[in-house]
Amino acid sequence: MQPTASIADMPLLVLEPSKGFVRPNLGDVWEYRELLYFLIWRDIKVRYKQTAMGAAWAVIQPVMTMLVFSVFFGHFAKMPSDGVPYPVFALAALLPWQLFAYALSESSNSLIASQNLITKVYFPRLIIPIAAVLAGLVDFAIAFGVLLLMMGYYQVMPTAAIFLLPLFVGFAIASALAVGLWLSSLNVKYRDVRYTIPFLTQLWMFATPVAYPSSIVPEQWRAILGLNPMAGVVEGFRWALLGQVRPSLPLLSVSVVAVSVLLIGGLVYFRKTEATFADLV
């Protein structure tokens, strides 16, 4: 028998109704990082076990979309592509876009999908949408390999800007999480949210320079386009990888501000509502 530590040394936990403003508990998330890791690992493992084609999906989706875009927008509509072959131009935008879209829809549904955990065990609820967002990185990494092959085929050489790529990937993740935090907590309360997500991502894609370059948007509107953080992400990603057109600075800064506001607001809103998740979900 091991003598238990003196009771005075044990941590004191106080449970009280939360009132007013509550600070997001990021420290708690760090404390539970192993659980975060296990949840990501589970999501990835289960998905590749359950689907017959497994990892092939990560390639098929962006490649098929790229083909369709290349035929209709690139070939028939003669969409400008900033001097890079259109297929590479499209795929370079589709990757961050699909990372975002996947992360967004997974995180928005994540709390409901984890209701068995939420009603039975305590852990910082923030882990659930974060795990859902990060699990999308595996698909992204696989698809990224395809993009590199495509670039080799079209002989597009990356420039030094490629070192900024992780920054834009992180930016895409942050955007997805920012929106995902809002939608996942709203989804617990209002199940309507679930039905709006496919619709939302579809509309959002057209508002994002995926199939077209942002240069076709008139100069004075470009900063406004930046209100859509994914515009900044896609433009920045393309630039970092293909090194053709530097993204407009006003657009990028507006995007950064937009994401920061959404993310902080999302964290606060999530924290405020998370106490009721177990009662509602």
Sign of CA dihedral 112, 117, 119, 125: negative
17 binds another protein (CB under 8 A): yes
Kindly tell me which residue out of 58, 93, 101, 118 binds another protein, with binding defined by CB under 8 A. Answer: 118
Per CB under 8 A, 280 contacts another protein? yes
Q: Does residue 30 belong to the site contacting another protein (CB under 8 A)? A: no
Residue closer to another protein by CB (options 233, 267) is 267
Residue 176 or residue 193: which is nearer to another protein going by CB?
193
Q: Identify which of 114, 260, 264 has the alpha carbon closest to the alpha carbon of residue 187.
A: 114
Rg of the Cα trace of the chain?
Answer: 21
Q: With binding defined as CB under 8 A, does residue 20 bind another protein?
A: no
Q: What amino acid is encoded at 242 in this protein?
A: L
d(CA 238, CA 96): 9
Nearer to another protein, 23 or 120 (CB): 120
Instruction: Report the alpha-carbon angle 266-176-157, nearest 5.
Output: 145
Closest distance to another protein from the beta carbon of 28 (Å) = 11
In the complex with another protein, the residue whose CB is nearer, 53 or 149, is 53
Strand, helix or coil at 54? coil
**Closest CB to another protein among residues 53, 68:** 53
C-alpha torsion 110→111→116→120, nearest 10: 140
**Size of interface with another protein, in residues (CB under 8 A):** 43
Specify whether the CB–CB gap between 177 and 135 falls below 8 A. Answer: no
Lookup: tokens for 130: 């974060």
**Does the protein bind another protein through residue 279 (CB under 8 A)?**
yes
A 10 A CB-CB count for 235 gives: 29
Q: Shortest gap between Cβ of 31 and another protein (angstroms)?
A: 10
Binding site for another protein (CB under 8 A): 1-4, 7, 10-18, 34-35, 38, 41-42, 45-46, 49-50, 116-123, 188-193, 275-276, 278-281
